[in-house]
């Protein structure tokens, strides 16, 4: 085939999304024209579309050697390095793209989106706004800015970006969706319902349809229309089951807890050799509990103290567990056989993972906040015998209801939160396991109730700080201002932690008490256990 035919047929393959065929044709074209920028650029695009990122990087690198003034190729290199997790090279290539062409819309938008992904909100905001100024009739940067301002609780700028978007997209369903959320944030709950019910989102946009119905449900709840609220919570949770990423198995997680209960029920005690030289950097504090028990509130309070840093829901223990499984052959009976040398290696692994999220400093306390780490206390205790645990407690029914009312990222554990009955059974099984751990492990635990934090803040937090061996500081009284400092809060409570304490969430379950009839025996047990 002649070069012209190879190019034409490769273009046709692109149009048909047959990227493998396009690559085959373009490779033949490089033989006939080895110094063609366009051919290597197209090879990069086709390889990227197939998810062959290293090959795509190779082709784009060749393209910029031929044409070092290609802002587009450098932007694509930035995207690819971001995709494979190379932050330095991602940023370097984005900046080269912008140096060549400061008005490259895609480079500004992608750089802003990448900064958003890595929680650099100042730079994310900067470059996304540049993208809006370059191409004000493109919806994507508005969407990203809306998410940024919403998740960081910047309601003023949230309203401003919505107003700007409405000028260019007055009837756009996505903008209407944003408008409904802004009305909810401004406590105009009836307006929020009227707008969101009439928003016709793309049926394929399952995630936003789930959020839409969830906001309608929450608006009805705020208006005291609890039957309507419950109906829409059920609809939202049903949609959640259809999410493409929801290949979760709720039974798998429940069975894993039962397996632990069966094993540890037959254990009288597990050896626990405390170490004399406790180092907070080596032995972190774990903030645990059933989800929606006030852990995000405690996170915000604790991180207000200048001697405390909270790492919020990162998979640090996850990596530890996988390595322990490898060491034990996935058998709890082998847990005690892990020797001191291996324990030190596992500590080093944990610390290495933790340093991906924070820089360790002497004299600071590091709190690893991940509520469902409560399930893995046997492994954590084996590696960190000096660890401290903060157990967040809340009225069990309120915790379960709040889980049912949230939009969680789907996984095996959270798929149990889509109905009150399932969430109640998960609560029962989780706490059963915890009580076993408490009996057979020598754990250093401080229990703290959500209701006590609300009703007797200073005394309750002083008790917690005494447990952590640090002093009270007066700025803790204004902990909610910590949430106003630009940061993304990754839990469903993100829109609540920038407010002073309020008690509307206490005993909220009573508004839905008929939904708890079938699981009443579960809560009789745990109300008695935790004195509710």
Distance, CA of 188 to CA of 224 (rounded, Å)? 14
CA proximity to 122, closest of 492, 480, 488: 488
Q: Of all helices (H) and strands (E), which one includes residue 312? A: strand 308-312
Are 18 and 123 part of one and the same domain? Answer: yes
pLDDT digits (tens, 9 = 90+) for 354-367: 998 888 888 899 99
Look at residue 283 in the predicted model and tell me its pLDDT. Answer: 79
Tell me what the pLDDT averaged over the chain comes to.
91
Q: Say if 218 falls within a structural domain.
A: no
Between vectors from CA 410 to CA 378 and to CA 219, what angle results, nearest 5°? 115
Is the pLDDT score of 141 beyond 90?
Answer: yes
Residues 6+ apart with CB under 8 A from 520: none
- Measured between alpha carbons, how far is 448 from 467 in angstroms, rounded to an integer? 11
- pLDDT for position 482: 63
In a domain, 229, yes or no: no
Is residue 338 predicted with pLDDT exceeding 80? yes
Rounded-to-integer distance, Cα 476 and Cα 458, Å: 9
Assess if residue 243 is contained within a domain. no
142-152, pLDDT tens digit by residue? 999 999 998 88
Alpha helix (H) residue ranges in 135-240: 139-151, 155-168, 173-185, 189-197, 206-222, 226-240
Express as a percent the part of the chain with pLDDT over 90. 81
Q: Is the pLDDT of residue 451 over 50?
A: yes
Neighbours of 311 (CB within 10 A): 20
pLDDT at 486: 47
Residue 500 has what pLDDT? Answer: 58
Clarify whether residues 436 and 358 are in a common domain.
Answer: yes
Instruction: Please check whether residue 148 is in contact with residue 124, taking contact to mean a CB–CB distance below 8 angstroms.
Output: yes
> Of the ranges 156-165, 275-284, 425-434, 475-484, which one carries the lowest mean pLDDT score?
275-284
Q: Tell me what the mean pLDDT of segment 134-159 comes to.
A: 91
Chain centre distance of CA 1: 51
pLDDT at residue 303, as a whole number: 92
Does 256 lie in the same domain as 202?
no
pLDDT of 160 strictly over 50: yes
Note whether 256 and 188 are same-domain residues.
no
Identify the residue with better confidence: 497 or 91. Answer: 91
Cα–Cα distance, 365 to 270 (Å, whole number): 27
Q: What's the pTM? A: 0.84
Per-residue pLDDT band at 280 (split at 50, 70, 90): very low
Burial class (CB in 10 A: 0-12, 13-18, 19+), 306: exposed
Residue 115 structural domain: 3-208
Residues 6+ apart with CB under 8 A from 130: 108, 112
**Residue 351: its pLDDT value, please?**
92
If pLDDT is split at 50, 70 and 90, which confidence band does 494 have? very low
Q: Which H helix or E strand runs over 529?
A: helix 520-529
Residue 296 predicted with pLDDT over 80:
yes
Distance CA 383, CA 323 (A): 12
pLDDT tens column, 169-193: 998 999 999 999 999 999 999 999 9
- Phi and psi at residue 386, to the nearest 5°: -95, 5
Report if residue 439 sits inside a domain.
Answer: yes
3 state SS of 444: strand
Beta-strand pair 285-289/388-393? parallel
Residues 413 and 271 reside in one and the same domain = yes
- Considering only CA atoms, which of 484, 444, 483 is closest in space to residue 467? 444
Buried b (16+ CB within 10 A) or exposed e, 66-99: beeebbbbbbbbbbbbbeeeeeebbbebbebbbe
Can you give the pLDDT at residue 485? 55
Give residue 270's pLDDT.
Answer: 65
Mean pLDDT of 114-141: 95
DSSP 8-state code for residue 477: G
Higher pLDDT, 488 or 418: 418
pLDDT of residue 231: 98
Q: Is the pLDDT of residue 375 over 90?
A: yes
Residue 445: the pLDDT is 97
What would the DSSP string read from start to end of 342-371? HHHHHHHHHHHHHTTT----TT-EEEEE-G
End-to-end distance of the chain based on CA atoms, in angstroms? 80
Domain harbouring 132, CATH code: 1.25.40.10
Domain-embedded: residue 402: yes
Q: Is residue 109 part of a domain?
A: yes
pLDDT of residue 335: 92
- Tens of pLDDT, residue by residue over 94-124, are 999 999 999 999 999 999 999 999 989 999 9
pLDDT, mean of residues 485-513: 68
pLDDT at 499 over 60: no
Instruction: Please give the tally of structural domains in the chain.
Output: 2
Longest dimension (CA), the chain: 82
| Per-residue pLDDT at 483 exceeds 60 | no
Alpha helices in 16-101 (DSSP H): 19-32, 37-49, 53-66, 71-83, 87-100
In percent, the amount of the chain with pLDDT more than 70 equals 93
State mean pLDDT over 144-161: 89
Answer yes or no: do 301 and 446 share one domain: yes
pLDDT at 269: 64
Does the pLDDT value for residue 35 go beyond 50? yes
User: How much is the average pLDDT of 325-340?
Assistant: 91
pLDDT in tens, 214-245: 999 999 999 999 999 999 999 999 998 877 66
Are 31 and 122 part of one and the same domain?
yes
The Cα-based distances of 443 to 74, 347, 387, 394, 429 in angstroms read 53, 18, 8, 20, 20
Q: Which helix (H) or strand (E) holds 18?
A: none
Q: How many residues are listed for the chain in this entry? A: 532
196 and 274 within one domain: no
Last residue of a domain, one of 184, 208, 232: 208
Residues 203 and 316 in one domain: no
Q: Please indicate, yes or no, whether residues 70 and 169 belong to a single structural domain of this protein.
A: yes
């Amino acid at each position: 085939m002649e070069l012209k035919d190879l190019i034409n047929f490769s273009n046709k393959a692109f149009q048909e999304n047959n990227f493998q065929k396009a690559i085959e044709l373009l490779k033949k074209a490089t033989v006939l024209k080895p110094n063609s920028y366009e051919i290597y650029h197209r090879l990069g695009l086709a390889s990227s579309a197939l998810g062959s990122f290293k090959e795509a990087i190779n082709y784009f690198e060749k393209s910029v050697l031929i044409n070092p003034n290609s802002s587009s190729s450098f932007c694509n290199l930035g995207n690819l390095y971001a995709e494979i997790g190379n932050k330095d090279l991602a940023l370097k290539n984005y900046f080269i793209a912008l140096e060549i062409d400061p008005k490259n819309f895609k480079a500004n938008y992608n750089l802003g989106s990448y900064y958003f992904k890595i929680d650099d909100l100042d730079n994310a905001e900067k470059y996304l706004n540049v993208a809006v100024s370059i191409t004000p009739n493109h919806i994507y940067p508005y969407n990203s800015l809306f998410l940024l301002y919403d998740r960081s609780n910047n309601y003023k700028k949230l309203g401003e970006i919505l107003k700007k978007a409405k000028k260019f997209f007055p009837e756009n369903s996505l903008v209407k969706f944003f408008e409904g959320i802004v009305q909810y944030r401004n406590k105009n709950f009836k307006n929020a319902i009227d707008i969101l019910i009439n928003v016709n989102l793309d049926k394929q946009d399952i995630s936003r349809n789930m959020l839409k119905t969830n906001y309608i449900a929450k608006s009805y709840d705020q208006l005291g229309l609890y039957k309507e609220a419950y109906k829409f919570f059920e609809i939202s949770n049903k949609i959640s089951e259809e999410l493409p990423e929801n290949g979760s198995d709720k039974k798998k997680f429940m069975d894993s807890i039962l397996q632990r209960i069966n094993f540890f029920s037959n254990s009288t005690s597990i050896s626990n050799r405390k170490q004399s030289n406790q180092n907070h950097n080596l032995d972190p504090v774990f903030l645990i509990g059933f989800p929606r028990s006030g852990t995000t509130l405690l996170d915000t309070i604790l991180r207000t103290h200048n001697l405390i840093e909270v790492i919020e829901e990162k998979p640090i223990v996850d990596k530890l567990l996988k390595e322990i499984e490898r060491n034990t052959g996935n058998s709890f009976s082998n847990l005690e056989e892990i020797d001191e040398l291996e324990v030190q290696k596992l500590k080093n692994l944990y610390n290495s993972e933790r340093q991906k999220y924070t820089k360790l400093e002497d004299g600071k306390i590091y709190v690893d906040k991940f509520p469902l780490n409560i399930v893995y206390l046997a492994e954590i205790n084996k590696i960190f015998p000096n660890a401290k645990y903060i157990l967040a407690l809340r009225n069990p029914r309120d915790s379960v209801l709040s889980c049912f009312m949230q939009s969680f990222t789907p996984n095996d554990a959270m798929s149990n939160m889509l109905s009150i009955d399932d969430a109640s059974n998960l609560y029962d099984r989780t706490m059963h396991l915890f009580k076993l751990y408490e009996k057979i492990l020598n754990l250093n635990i401080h229990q703290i109730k959500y209701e006590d934090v609300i009703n007797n803040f200073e005394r309750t937090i002083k008790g917690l700080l005494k447990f952590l061996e640090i002093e009270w500081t007066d700025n803790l009284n204004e902990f909610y201002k910590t949430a106003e400092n630009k940061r993304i809060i990754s839990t469903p409570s993100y829109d609540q932690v920038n407010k002073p304490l309020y008690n509307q969430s206490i005993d909220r379950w009573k508004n839905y008490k008929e939904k708890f009839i079938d699981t009443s025996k579960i809560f009789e047990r745990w109300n008695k256990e935790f004195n509710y």
